[in-house]
Amino acid sequence: MKITDIRLGMLTIPLKTPFKTALRTVQQIEDVVVMIETDTGHIGYGEAPATAVITGDIHGSIIDAIKSVLKPKLVGQQIADLNHIIRLIQGAIMKNYSAKAAVEMAVYDLFAQLYQAPLYKILGGGVPKITTDITISVDYIDKMVADSLSAIDRGFETLKVKVGKDIGVDIERVKAIYAAVAGKALIRLDANQGWTAKEAVYALRKLEDAGVRLELVEQPVKAYDLEGLKYITERVHTPVMADESSFGPREVIELIKMRAADIINIKLMKTGGIANAIKIADICSFYDMQCMIGCMLEGSISVAAAVHVAVAKSDVITKIDLDGPSLCAFDPVTSSVSFNDADITIGNAPGLGITAIDGLKMLS
């Protein structure tokens, strides 16, 4: 199975409600879709969003990186030479993690198709069912409480609550949500780098003293502030998770050495694809550190790839934040991964099992 061409498209999917964090507000998903064609007629699929405020990637940079740099390296390569192809992708260009991730997951899709197995089985197997949380966007307190209760009615048992806008209001937001959902759902906080280290300690201690029990708090401080992250981790009972501070294996090793976080959030758009995600999971497993697997605001192609990784590495990836498809008004992708609100299951089709994408606009 040899790569003969790489084609690109754009996929736009409206959200059920606006996605609001301390960093941005988004109305719809707009992803670059990658299709790697082969001489056997098999097609591998990948996907990448533009997340400028986190990865630095925009649609233009993703498209140009794939067309101008990655495609010339990969056309003509044999899919069976997976490790060689991964080295070509990762070594072809600095950063550009989203472009690398989209292309790499399409290669993995083809590799699993070559051996006629679902991707998770190629990655090591596992139970093909996981349960995700859902994001509660930052908003007025009453709206956030209502959204939380609605999510519970849909079957979600873990809520990822966005904060980071105003420390005083954030504390009241969390107290109100906790009072409404205690005993019905776990709460994870995500400050999206919106607090200082001292603010985070103040807020978390206030919440802890008020009897609010949080599963974790995610990236309370700026990505570069590892000392701030360590400061918080040492001073609160709530587990601290690194997200924007942990892109690849090197950052994860540094965080572990510093004891700056309790949990690592793996995202394919930060790691540059599946290979580095697996490396991070293995590093964390060695140090007995739990991982979450998450996503940006992505459609179900790239989230499906993350689902396969989560299943294969479930010994260390113990927390799931793959709610992108659940936030969409509809899913235009037909695949063997079924997204049913909190429940995500994988079928038996080879690779990612993608058979159709409605509304895909091809790029020239």
CA separation for the pair 201, 195 (Å, rounded): 9
Do the annotations mark residue 154 as ligand-binding?
Answer: no
Residues in a beta bridge with 218: 190, 241
Residues with a catalytic annotation lie at: 162, 267
Do the annotations mark residue 243 as ligand-binding?
Answer: yes
Mapped onto helix, strand or coil, the DSSP state of residue 169 is helix
Do the annotations mark residue 24 as ligand-binding?
Answer: yes
Give me the helix-helix angle, 274-286 and 300-312, nearest 10°: 30
Do the annotations mark residue 73 as ligand-binding?
Answer: no
CA separation for the pair 334, 25 (Å, rounded): 28
Torsion of CA 17, 21, 27, 30, to 10 degrees: -120
Do the annotations mark residue 55 as ligand-binding?
Answer: no
Do the annotations mark residue 170 as ligand-binding?
Answer: no
Do the annotations mark residue 218 as ligand-binding?
Answer: yes
Do the annotations mark residue 323 as ligand-binding?
Answer: yes
Write 314-318 long-range contacts (CB < 8 A, 24+): 314/126, 314/127, 314/130, 315/285, 316/281, 316/282, 316/284, 316/285, 316/289, 316/290, 316/291, 317/266, 317/281, 317/291, 317/292, 317/293, 318/290, 318/291, 318/292
Annotated binding residues:
24, 135, 160, 190, 218, 243, 295, 297, 321, 323
Question: Which residues carry a binding-site annotation for Mg(2+)?
Answer: 190, 218, 243
* Binding-site residues from annotation for substrate: 24, 135, 160, 295, 297, 321, 323
